[in-house]
Amino acid sequence: MLGWLRPKLESKPPPDTRVYAVGDIHGQSTQLRALHDSIRQDAEKAAESQRVIVYVGDYIDRGPDSSGVLDQLIEKPLDGFRSVHLKGNHEDFMLRFIEGDIEAGAGWYANGGDATLTNYGIEIEDKWPDFSVLVEWREGLSKAISATQWRFLSDLALFHVEGDYAFVHAGVRPGVPLKSQDPNDLMWIREEFHASRVQHDYVIVHGHSVSSKAVNRTNRIGIDTGAGYGRALTAVVLSGAERRFLHA
């Protein structure tokens, strides 16, 4: 427990490694392509030989092209990078719905899932769905999603560590070791994490909660700048003790 409270005065990725972390994409395939271009250009100047890119989740919903985002991540990974994909609460909603949790479909629909359903060719009526409609949506979506996309979503990790940095979707519960965190907290937590000034074992890099610009604190870095609402898509660049941000 004391190690969890130990301050990190100078956080770094592993030696000879440059890390990029991409915030919540939310169906914005055009912005993702543009951000990838910026990351490629930045990496060309990198002194480090190892390059890692971590996507913190919420690839789907709200934006117009969730399927295109998934295909881009699966079929067009950045050359010369090791790619890590984390699970966001929106992917969790979608997975639980397809796996048979029909009630999860209503919550998903209310939180931007309507855009994903439409993107997959499911007809959406402008009224709250009853149980039978949710069943129809699930059947249609199960047929529309590709096997490759399903495997990708099923294999998403909940956290990832690079040197002094840990990457999660939403945040962590202060005082709980990373490997003991509740998966729901990793995908959903907000206030308790945001308000905490505890110096965790790692600097936490996260998305999930929208801010007008990237949050850069001693104990956390927030990189959801609202792409799902038509704002910027952001990546943080971690190189030595330096932190920079790229936007698209």
Q: Give the tens place of pLDDT for each residue, 71-128.
A: 999 999 999 999 999 999 999 999 999 999 999 999 999 999 999 999 999 999 878 9
Phi, psi of 31 (to 5 degrees): -65, -35
- Residue whose entry in the numeric block shows the structure tokens 């840990």: 166
Helix, coil or strand: residue 140: helix
Q: What is the pLDDT of residue 4?
A: 39
**pLDDT tens digit at each of 248 positions of the chain:** 333 344 445 899 999 999 999 999 999 999 999 999 999 999 999 999 999 999 999 999 999 999 999 999 999 999 999 999 999 999 999 999 999 999 999 999 999 999 999 999 999 987 899 999 999 999 999 999 999 999 999 999 999 999 999 999 999 999 999 999 999 999 999 999 999 998 999 999 999 999 999 999 999 999 999 999 999 999 999 999 999 999 99
What is the C-alpha separation between 47 and 105, in angstroms, rounded?
46
The answer to whether the CB of 222 falls within 8 A of the CB of 206 is yes
Q: What is the pLDDT of residue 127?
A: 83
Q: What is the pLDDT of residue 1?
A: 31
What is the C-alpha separation between 209 and 24, in angstroms, rounded?
9
Tokens of 26: 């939310």
Sheet holding 242-247, edge to edge: 82-85, 50-55, 17-22, 234-239, 242-247
Q: List Cα–Cα distances, 233 to 32, 144, 182, 184, in angstroms.
A: 7, 27, 27, 24
Domain architecture of the chain: domains with CATH: 3-88+147-247 (3.60.21.10)
